[in-house]
Amino acid sequence: MNAGVSAKGDLHWLTVADAAAAIAANTLSPVDLMKALLARIERLDPRLNAFIRLDAETALAAARVAEVEAAAGRLRGPLHGVPVGIKDIIDVAGLPTTAHSKILDGKVATADAVCVTKLRQAGAIVVGKLSTHEFAIGGPSFDLPWPPARNPWNTDHHPGGSSSGSGSGVAAGLFPMALGTDTGGSVRNPASCCGIVGLKPTYGLVSRRGVFPLAFTLDHVGPMTRTVADNALMLACIAGHDPLDSGSAAAPAGHYAAALERDVRGLRVGFVRHFHETDVPADPEVTAGLEHVAHSLQMAGAELKDIRLPALGEFGAVNRIILQSEAWAIHGPWLRSRPGDYGQLARRRLMAGAFMSSGDYLQASRRRKEMIALVETALSEVDVLLCASSMDPACRIDISADVERTYPRQARTPFNVTGHPALAMMSGLSSGGLPLSVQFVGRYFDEATVFQVARAWEKASGTDKKHPPIV
């Protein structure tokens, strides 16, 4: 029997890769795995609110089918029998896509999003729809039809957003993988707050068809897992050109796990220190964690070099103008006709787009191109960038002033502006027992090198073995 499944009590901490391998070897029943996770969800989710809609009966029925198929040697793909959670702005056929909003309450999807179809083709089993900030922008909010998700490291704290249920549920062992979306950091923020691995892939690498948009030119779909290897595995299953997604890129297969266990000797790592030292001065524990990551990679043979990019404030302004302008194009009609059906936070944030001019948008788009060129120049000098993700550990979820203060204190939006692949993961734990984070950024379509460096840090630090104390 696979060492990772020697005790049923450990099933909730199985990695995607270990679970899939054990199911393929018939040493783990997909039904046993699903039942164990459903029992954990029943026990813990009332405290976490990771789910908007748990689809337990359908998931268990799919697990029974997967068990029969595995016993007969008919594996659908590399994720056969492994459960996955889906952020509730992503369509799952037969289930509502609410975007955590009264506006869409009861709107049932008639087809799977392309990314969900690809996961099913790889053998994954959808376990349900997960909490998000309203329309991936308004949260955490307490005036919506469903409560906000909470952080499993401390349920009084924010799990990050907007893929909040995805981050909380993966970290808590409710499911081993989830889909999130990222327009200004919404995969990487919960990954940072909850101590998991979250990737915003290269813009266009993963189809967004069937995903409710926030900002057309900034939106990404990304994998969220507890390990770097699982993230690479999940990306391999969802990546690919979609001619019906206007932003989709015709890119070659990435072989994302090809360099996972390769050392980093000779790799050039560019440390963007000014993001957290001067642009938005970070909590001292965050700074210490980043320096520890950089030192560990250097000790492993990587070449470290300081890199300067445009200031975070400028990246943030460009992201904000483009996001709010594009979001207004989507939400303007509802905001005119049904403003009271939005939560207060989403309404306030989306309404800002009404005051953006075409000149603002064009100037931001022009500066965006210049920023892309500057990041490209930096990545011609180094193989990967290292920088902050969040500048603070997760704040309390119930103190709105703390949420408003800490939310913009991050270095994720630059890479929505430029579209480069960016991965956030744990750099350590704060003195208060909350995850600290680091971000790695790569060249377009070079997720393999990002994973290589992230895995080197993961091996050095053992972050994949650290779990929240929630039981």
Name the pairing type of β-strands 268-271 and 303-306.
parallel
Instruction: Say if CB 52 and CB 131 are below 8 A apart.
Output: yes
Task: Give CA separation, 3 vs 27, 224, 232, 277, 399, in Å.
Answer: 10, 24, 22, 44, 43
**Torsions phi, psi of 165, nearest 5?**
-65, -35
Q: Among 29, 131, 141, 162, which one carries the catalytic annotation?
A: 162
The verdict on whether 87 is a catalytic residue reads yes
**Sole residue written with tokens 């783990």:** 28
Q: Which pair of structure tokens corresponds to residue 267?
A: 């790799």
Between vectors from CA 404 to CA 402 and to CA 410, what angle results, nearest 5°? 95
Considering the candidates 29, 87, 389, 461, report the single residue annotated as catalytic: 87
- Read off the tokens for 163: 């893929």
- Contact of 190 with 85, CB cutoff 8 Å: no
d(CA 461, CA 299): 13
Alpha helices in 75-227 (DSSP H): 114-121, 164-171, 188-194
Do 179 and 173 form a contact (C-beta atoms < 8 A)?
A: no
* Residues 6 or more apart in contact with residue 246 via CB below 8 angstroms: 216
Of 131, 166, 168, 186, catalytic: 186
Question: What is the number of residues in the chain?
Answer: 471
Q: Is 9 in a helix, a strand, or coil?
A: helix
141: preceding bond cis by omega (within 30 degrees): no
Contact call for residues 437 and 300 (beta carbons, < 8 A): no
Q: What are phi and psi for residue 179, nearest 5 degrees?
A: -100, 135
Which residues are catalytic, by number? Answer: 87, 162, 186
